Amino acid sequence: MRRHRALTAASLACAVAGAASAQVRVVSWNVTNYSGGRDAEFKTAIYGVAPTGTAYAGQSMNPDVFVGQEFLSQSGVDAFLNILNTAPGSPGDWAAAPFLDGADTDSAFFWRNSKVEYVGTTTIAIGSSSTANQPRDTRRYDFRPLGYTAPSATLAVYSVHLKAQGGTNSSGRRLIEAQRIRDNAEGIDTNGPGTALPAGYQIMVAGDMNAQSSTESFYVEFVGSQTNNTGRFFDPISTPGSWNNNSAFRFIHTQDPATQVDDRHDQIVVGGGLVDGAGLDYIGAFGTPWNLSTFADPNHSYRCWGNDGTSYDALLRTIGNAMVGQPIAEALVASANGLGHLPVMVDLRVPAEIDATTLVDFGDVPLNSAQARNITVFNAGNTAAFGSAIETLTYSLNASSGFGVAAGPFNDDAGGIVNLHPVWLDTSSPGVVTGTVTIASNSPDEPARIVNLAARVVPPTLCAGDLNGDSLINTADLALFLSVFGQSVTPGAPGDLNSDGQVNTADLALFLSVFGTAC
């Protein structure tokens, strides 16, 4: 069987910003008080192709899921959806969740129908202008990669725009929202019955956190260990610190491309289930800190799109931008509308998906004969949609009484050859035999595939008594039978009517039962 493919730095770098994204790419972007307009700028920023000579030459942002902040209206959502569907290079398969008007500006959610199934939107907390409350509503958008149904393959994204720095109780207001998100992720109804995160879902927080340091109380609420860690989040690039006005973090700064890039306000943090190496998972070496000397760390798919690290405390570099080139960089600055943010993104690998034989019928087989049939097992992950960003299928086999099979474990990569596994049948006793092979796998939608088995073990036919081959079972055959009676012979040899390797009274009984008949 094939071994599990290691995710090399080269293969990860190839997956990070592919021109035709195969993995599931989640982009989060505060689009700055958006109610429409800036069409050309957004089209270029999202689907513009980086020119020759840049790090991502021939590639684009190319999201599959887009989580946005600072939307003002349904018309703004409609306008942005039109941008996504009509931009040159777009697959034109985008859809949008309905706009929900809450306190201050709002979040929006867009997805590609050919890659993602939208599950629903939940408002998990209500904001207000009160300095004792969070300023904006918190939305949770639930979706799953197309073709999956299991809770563990479903991702809940909390879109956030936390309270800005400064003003009365700004730190406390950020903490309130973080506490509500963590409570919700731990299964608590934070905004009335039915608003809690369903059990088993994967989790992510994406958006404008207005974060300046990993020691801020709200950030510790997200990433710190507590008694209940079901709702704990992790920085996928493992890069804590004091990010504000600190040039050491210039490659991951997101604020503000139109004036000065000097802070890591915009982030994506993920639940433990997205960094455990199993199922739906972050593509990257979680636990390895970001290489602070580059904008293109090959250990991570996390990116701040457009920031080549040369713009600390200055306008985002456009001419000579080494990451995405001048046209995209200019579009990012213009789309920020004089203020604003750069988008951040992560790539996700989808789970393995098992397919296998469901029934093996041996049919009628001779008593004491050697019998085996193959069952097929393969990784049915959708390579057309997700390319190679599909988890390796791992599985083992267990046969019920009367059958045998090699246990494993075994592996299969999506798009590879079908694995064949022989199942052996015990034919030592006549009669109908039924059973199962259970395939235990890491496929979240079907962790136990049952293969049904059936056979009928039959004793020799009446013509086995025709020892001289004249189509009659008579005294001539009896004489031949008696000449070998009491001997050990090759199973199935003349006289061994039950194929047990002995010519004895059991065979005599079978012979007498057909004596005097014709074949």
The 10s digit of each residue's pLDDT in 152-206 is 999 999 999 999 999 999 999 999 999 999 999 999 999 999 999 999 999 999 9
Q: Per this entry, what is the length of the chain?
A: 519
Spell 110-148 as b/e; 16+ CB within 10 A means b: bbbeebbebeebbbbbbbeeeeebbbbbbbbbbbbbbbb
Residue 455, beta-bridge partner list: 433
**Residues 272 and 362 grouped into a single domain:** no
Assess if residue 3 is contained within a domain.
no
**Is residue 204 domain-resident?**
yes
Q: Is-contact 161 136, C-beta < 8 A?
A: yes
Where does a domain end: 309, 332, 349?
349
| Arithmetic mean of pLDDT, 423-437 | 91
Q: Which of 292, 324, 349 is the last residue of a domain?
A: 349
Res 62: pLDDT: 97
Kindly report, residue by residue over 25-75, the tens digit of the pLDDT: 999 999 999 999 999 999 999 999 999 999 999 999 999 999 999 999 999
Report the predicted TM-score, pTM, of the whole model to 2 decimal places: 0.86
Q: What's the mean per-residue pLDDT of the chain? A: 93
Q: How far apart are CA 192 and CA 196, in angstroms?
A: 8
Q: Is the pLDDT of residue 342 over 80?
A: yes
C-alpha distances out from residue 465 to 369, 429, 495, 515, Å = 18, 20, 7, 8
Same domain flag for 213 and 271: yes
Residue 494, pLDDT score: 83
Q: Is residue 2 domain-resident? A: no
**One domain for residues 364 and 298:** no
The secondary structure of 422-473 as a DSSP string is EEEE--SS-EEEEEEEEEEES-TT-SEEEEEEEEEEEPPPGGGG-TTSSSB-
Between β-strands 344-349 and 281-282, what pairing exists: parallel, antiparallel or unpaired?
antiparallel
Domain boundary, last residue among 305, 331, 349: 349
Domain assignment of residue 293, yes or no: yes
- Note the pLDDT tens digit of each residue in 243-291: 999 999 999 999 999 999 999 999 999 999 999 999 999 999 999 999 9
Average pLDDT over residues 470-479: 87
Rounded distance, CA 53 to CA 57, Å? 6
Is residue 509 classed exposed, middle or buried when 0-12, 13-18 and 19+ CB atoms within 10 A define those classes? exposed
- Residue 416: which of 381, 451, 440 has the closest Cα? 381
CA 357, 358, 363, 366 torsion-angle sign: positive
CATH of the domain at 239: 3.60.10.10
Q: Is residue 414 part of a domain?
A: yes
Please report, rounded to a whole number, the percentage of residues in the chain having pLDDT higher than 90. Answer: 82
What pLDDT sits at residue 365?
87
The residue written with tokens 């455990």 in the block is: 276
Tell me: do 320 and 188 sit in the same domain: yes
- Examine the domain organization and report whether 435 and 377 are in the same domain: yes
Do 153 and 223 fall into the same domain?
yes
- Looking at the fold, whether 138 and 171 belong to one and the same domain comes out as yes
The 10s digit of each residue's pLDDT in 76-121 is 999 999 999 999 999 999 999 999 999 999 999 999 999 999 999 9
Q: ∠ CA(483), CA(489), CA(490), 5° rounding?
A: 140
Does 3 score more than 90 pLDDT?
no
Here the CATH number for the domain that contains residue 440 is 2.60.40.10
How far is Cα 66 from Cα 2, in angstroms, rounded to an integer?
36
Helices 74-86 and 39-47 meet at what angle, rounded to 10?
Answer: 50
Contact between 35 and 75 (Cβ < 8 Å): yes
As for how many domains the chain has, the answer is 3
**pLDDT confidence tier of residue 350, bands split at 50, 70 and 90:** very high
Range of the domain at 418: 354-458
Name the percent of the chain lying above pLDDT 70. Answer: 95
What element of type H or E holds 233? strand 233-234
Going by pLDDT thresholds of 50, 70 and 90, the confidence category of residue 339 is confident
497 plus 379 within the same structural domain: no
Q: Give the three-state DSSP class for 110.
A: strand
Say whether both 258 and 135 belong to one domain. yes
Query: Got the DSSP string for 367-401?
Result: TT--EEEEEEEEE---HHHHTT-BPPEEEEEEEPT
Query: Do 69 and 137 meet the contact criterion of CB atoms below 8 Å apart?
Result: no
State the Cα–Cα distance between residues 3 and 31, nearest whole angstrom: 44
Shared-domain flag, residues 39 and 94: yes
Residue-wise pLDDT for 224-251, tens only, equals 999 999 999 999 999 999 999 999 999 9
* pLDDT over threshold 70, residue 13: no
Q: Which residues contact 110 (CB under 8 A, 6 or more apart)?
A: 65, 66, 68, 80, 81, 84, 94, 95, 96, 97
Residues 184 and 321 in one domain: yes
Asked, for residue 229, whether it belongs to a domain, the answer is yes
CA distance 254 to 243: 10
Query: What is the Cα–Cα distance from 135 to 230, expressed in whole angstroms?
Result: 26
Rounded Cα gap, residues 428 and 497, in angstroms? 14
Give the number of other Cβ atoms within 10 Å of residue 254's Cβ. 28
141 and 176 fall within a common domain: yes
pLDDT of residue 364: 85
Predicted local confidence at residue 461, as pLDDT: 67
